[in-house]
Amino acid sequence: MSGVATPVAEPQAPKSAAYKAKAYAAQSATSGLAPFSVPRRDLRPDDVQVQIQYCGVCHSDLHQVRNEWQSTLPTIYPIVPGHEIIGRVTKTGNSVTRFKEGDTVGVGCMVSSCGVCVNCRAGEEQFCVNFPTLTYNAEDKILGGVTYGGYSGSIVVREAFVLRVSDKLDLAGAAPLLCAGITTYSPLRHWNVGKGQKVGIVGLGGLGHMGVKFAKAFGAHVVLFSTSPKKIADAKRLGVDEVIISTNADEMLKHAGSFDFILDTASAEHDLNAYLPLLKLDGTMTLVGAPEKPAPVAAFNLLFGRHRLAGSAIGGIRETQEMLDFCAEHGITSDIELIKIQDINQAYERLLKSDVKYRFVIDMASLQ
């Protein structure tokens, strides 16, 4: 999930837990991840217990393990990352009606929210006025302490924040849909991307390749912006209609004023002003990547053409379920590399080098 400013309360000591779950945790910004155990609460009436089968590795996991977002989302150690969770229901509270033992389910970036603010009531829990409870590294308002994520054997979550996952989907490939998928699906849906539109995707990584898949499924003419000619062949395999090498100024200029929408998925520093003039009148460029440093924007690149520069962060529960159902109908999953939990530190090093096509997913059976 993209970094967002929130006050972090000093966590209370955990109350007594129902059981301990095996997990992998980092004890500091430099320690790496190692075996750990985390408390999981007794089931309340509206709780669902999930045995985790697969957990995607999001770039934000790496950021938070290494405390790289300390100004906006400081890390509380020990930290157990993971918010792209696929698993099977093992128990349900006595008031749960939507799930039963054996169901395949997902858990994404949030496990709770206030439920009463204007945004929560509108189904936009990700923008909860009181800030949602994130799946990890957040105050655990039920058990006390902090929340622990999906690099673990099981998790207990409120029914309202559990999602149905179709068995039609490859379950390992479906795990990244819970963050990378909804992070790209939501803005494309919000800005009504569809047939007859020319849509640009900046970057072909974990987010970018999902943006390409959704934009194509929505019927758009999809153009990839990349700094690397090596990405051209794979972009074509994914269905991209054109590839623009963004470091080639002449090539960029040829497309001035031609894009309806640009989705910027890049998390490395880059010049936003190179893309804004490519928008049509009333075109929108939306950021879903989260570079560490603020990016300057020239006012005239917005004034001329009435261009909009926007941002988007994941999606609400209702929209995330819509996205999962859309993926089941259209056979969309993430391109992944399946790893064992014991290889997670090596995977982080490879992630820093963009050495993955396009998402690591942990087979949690390896935790046993």
Q: How far is 200 from 197, CA to CA, in rounded Å?
A: 10
Instruction: Give the Cα separation of 240 and 149 in Å (integer).
Output: 34
Q: Does domain 19-179+315-326+335-367 have CATH number 3.90.180.10?
A: yes
pLDDT of residue 6: 40
Name 171's Cβ contacts closer than 8 Å, sequence gap at least 6.
53, 54, 86, 104, 165
pLDDT recorded at residue 68: 87
pLDDT at 14: 55
Distance between CA 112 and CA 46 in Å, rounded?
Answer: 12
Sequence letter at residue 172 = A
CATH superfamily placement of domain 183-311: NAD(P)-binding Rossmann-like Domain (3.40.50.720)
3-state secondary structure string across 343-362: HHHHHHHHHHCCCCCCEEEE
Give CA–CA dist 207/229, Å, rounded: 19
Per domain, the residue ranges of the chain are: 19-179+315-326+335-367, 183-311
- Residue 12 CA to residue 148 CA, distance in Å, equals 14
The predicted pLDDT at position 268 comes to 85
pTM summary value: 0.93
Binned average pLDDT, 10 residues per bin, the chain of 368 residues: 41 66 96 95 96 96 92 92 98 97 98 97 97 96 93 97 97 98 98 97 96 98 94 94 95 96 93 97 95 89 97 97 98 98 97 92 94
